[in-house]
Structure 1
Amino acid sequence: MQTFTPTKVRTQDVVRTFMARTYSWMAAGLALTAGIAYLTAQNEAFALQVMQWRLPLIIAQLALVFVLSLGAQRLNSGLAGVLFIAYAALTGLTFSALLFAYSPAAVISAFATTAGTFALMSVAGFVIKKDLSAMGRFFMFAVIGLFVAMIVNLFVASSALTLGISIVGVLLFAGLTAYDTQMLRNLALSGIEGEQAERASINGALALYLDFINMFLFILRLFGMGGPSRD
């Protein structure tokens, strides 16, 4: 019979609490993004105005991610939480354009597929025994390569390249979901607590949020290639 020492039980409680907090932040961010995107799309005049602000909004999003990532060890949890919520809100504004570019069926199907894939990969990352930390550098270079391919495709506009980029993007961010989940579990196992744990849970939520959002965009592109866009 397996026995649990008080230390082991306490470690499990710390991991459970930390991961629950992280996923709660992530879920709140996704809900805010979806809600703002939907409400913005319901007001076409405002949505058109948002589209004109698209470039400044994207720059603001990049700036927030940059600040959150570089300030992961310096920002207090309150400020980090505000910045994360602000990022999720800005993403909702920019994502409102997707509700005009794609049919509701494509968006719903892509979201459901993303949610299922994310859940499976996150569970895999949590329970898998093999250390995935060595994959970190590969994922970093893969993301850079994918970004370069996307820029090239802006000029060549190749449907075959678009398909390839979308497939690779889905696989890459599915892998990153497992990787980030394992890194967060290992961080929790280190015994992180208090303010440090709260700050880390917000930054962990941002990493998982970005994995989900990027996977969703690539899956939506795949769904959109096979069907009509919104009238």
Structure 2
Amino acid sequence: MNNNDNLIFDQREDGLNAFFSKVYALMGVGVAISGLVSFIMIRFFQANLDAISQKGSLVFLALWIIPLVLVVPLQTSAMKNSSAAMPLFVIYSAFMGFLISFTLLMYTSTDITMAFITAVAMFFGLAVYGRTTKRDLSGMQKALVAGVIGLIVIGFLNFFIQSTALMLICSVVGVVIFSGLIAYDNQKITQVYNQMGDSNGWAISMALSLYLDFLNLFLFLLRIFGFAGNSRD
């Protein structure tokens, strides 16, 4: 490899590192917004959360359907590099923070802390693996997406069945599925950069994917820690 090849390689690596930094900064913004909104709702509006909770499971089902619908125009705007992508991402993160506040009320601070620390450790370990592995992880994509769809369907059914055992099984499977998605999406960031360059829209798109990966990993781990805490009691 001559000097010109070395220079091109170094420039590409610098560009890729900058793109990763942008994606992770945007993801961090999303997580921070969700965390802040959840804190505000629990700290100052717990009575309102309790009032909404008393309206029944159908209200929760309707609320959780909203982000499933919103994620489609958000991803579309991001991939089109639309100026609406960033505001939509902020609104989406804030709304998810509102939804998460209902879940956090059901767990102890110890369970929440342990789940968050574990999620962070797993996320960064899997992120490093996804970026550095030479193995092509794209073969897992269809199976992982099918798994996510399966979790959504089973979660919808469990709204009515209310099976604790089924919820625990889904939580364990969810941790496995989103662990795979974290590794895959981190590898995909490199592929996106090679094909699209340093695109702000695609950076938001990948940040949204990582945000959802981390959020779901945290929530599934939280359920597992919650079950473990109840069994000890």
Answer whether TM exceeds 0.5 for this pair.
yes
3-state SS, counterpart of residue 72 of structure 1: helix
CA distance in 2, matches of 1:10, 1:131: 24
Q: Which residue of 1 aligns with 2:113?
A: 108
* Count of residues in correspondence between the two structures: 225
Which stretches in structure 2 are left out of the alignment for 5+ residues?
A: none
* Counterpart residue identity of residue 201, structure 2: R
CA distance in 1, matches of 2:123, 2:2: 31
Cα deviation for residue 45 of structure 1 reads 2.9
Map 1:52-201 → 2, pairs under 5 A: 54=60, 57-76=63-82, 78-190=83-195, 192-193=197-198, 197-201=199-203
Identical columns (%): 33
CA distance in 1, matches of 2:95, 2:61: 12
Q: Which residue of 2 aligns with 1:226?
A: 228
CA distance in 1, matches of 2:175, 2:2: 39
CA distance in 2, matches of 1:104, 1:38: 12
After superposition, the Cα gap between the structure-2 partners of 1:58 and 1:150, relative to the gap in structure 1 and judged at 3 Å, is closer
3-state SS, counterpart of residue 69 of structure 1: helix
Q: 1:14 touches 1:189 (CA, 8 Å); kept in 2?
A: no
CA distance in 1, matches of 2:149, 2:63: 22
CA distance in 2, matches of 1:224, 1:217: 10
CA distance in 2, matches of 1:149, 1:60: 17
After superposition, the Cα gap between the structure-2 partners of 1:95 and 1:5, relative to the gap in structure 1 and judged at 3 Å, is same
- After TM superposition, the runs of 4+ consecutive aligned structure 1 residues lying more than 4 A away are 1-4, 49-57
TM-score (norm 2): 0.87
Cα deviation, 1:54-76, whole Å, max 9, x if unaligned, reads 55543442232110123333242
CA distance in 2, matches of 1:88, 1:218: 18
* Counterpart residue identity of residue 70, structure 2: L
Q: 1:14 touches 1:191 (CA, 8 Å); kept in 2?
A: no
| Backbone CA RMSD of aligned residues | 2.3
Query: 207, 211, 230: which one pairs with 1:205?
Result: 207
Structure 1 stretch displaced more, 49-58 or 5-14 = 49-58
Cα deviation, 1:122-173, whole Å, max 9, x if unaligned, reads 1100000011112111111111222233334344433332222111100100
CA distance in 2, matches of 1:152, 1:57: 15
Q: Which structure has the higher relative contact order (CA within 8 Å, separation 6+)?
A: 1
Q: 1:50 touches 1:93 (CA, 8 Å); kept in 2?
A: no
* Counterpart residue identity of residue 71, structure 1: S
Which stretches in structure 1 are left out of the alignment for 5+ residues?
A: none
Q: 1:11 touches 1:191 (CA, 8 Å); kept in 2?
A: no
Structure 1 stretch displaced more, 42-51 or 18-27 = 42-51
